[in-house]
Amino acid sequence: MNTKASFFDKKLIVSSFTVLFASAIVVAVIKSAESIHLPYIVAVLCAVILGFVEPRKGWFLALLQCILILTGYFLFTHLPENTAQQELENFSLYGSLILTFVASFLGGFIKRALNTK
């Protein structure tokens, strides 16, 4: 019997709530960081975990995380008045978005590699 599983299964929905929490952490770190390193590390770790949890649908979770990070940053935070701080936050924000996709792919790749052995 060949039954095709739904894309939006229970595991993906539960993982989506994890993405909500991870996105809030990334936004909070972007707002409080004094350099770009900490936001990048947090974004990468969150995305690797997402890719590891959902190796086939990690791209969807990465896209959802990017949308939530952008939404959270622009709707729920205030832009800094200091130009240097604003540039730092922008660089951290957009760099974190790019790294989210790369790290999600990496997490999925690691999970699939571990499952083949």
Measured between alpha carbons, how far is 48 from 52 in angstroms, rounded to an integer? 6
Q: What total of structural domains would you count in the chain?
A: 1
Q: Other C-beta atoms within 10 Å of 56: how many?
A: 12
Containing structural domain, residue 70:
16-116
Q: What is the pLDDT of residue 6?
A: 81
Q: Is residue 11 domain-resident?
A: no
Q: Is residue 8 domain-resident?
A: no
Q: What is the pLDDT of residue 116?
A: 79
Global confidence as pTM: 0.89
Angle at 78 between CA 87 and CA 98, to 5 degrees: 50
Q: Is residue 57 domain-resident?
A: yes
Q: Is residue 5 domain-resident?
A: no
Taking only the tens of pLDDT, the chain with its 117 residues reads: 455 678 888 888 999 999 999 999 999 999 999 999 999 999 999 999 999 999 888 889 999 999 999 999 999 999 899 999 999 999 999 999 999 999 999 999 999 999 876
Name every residue whose Cβ is closer than 8 Å to that of residue 103 and which is 6 or more positions away in sequence.
Answer: 43, 44, 45, 46, 47, 48, 51
Under DSSP, the state recorded for 41 is H
Q: Is residue 84 domain-resident?
A: yes
Instruction: List helix spans (H) across the chain.
Output: 10-32, 37-53, 58-76, 83-116
Q: Is residue 4 domain-resident?
A: no
Q: Is residue 81 domain-resident?
A: yes
Measured between alpha carbons, how far is 28 from 46 in angstroms, rounded to an integer? 13
Q: Is residue 7 domain-resident?
A: no
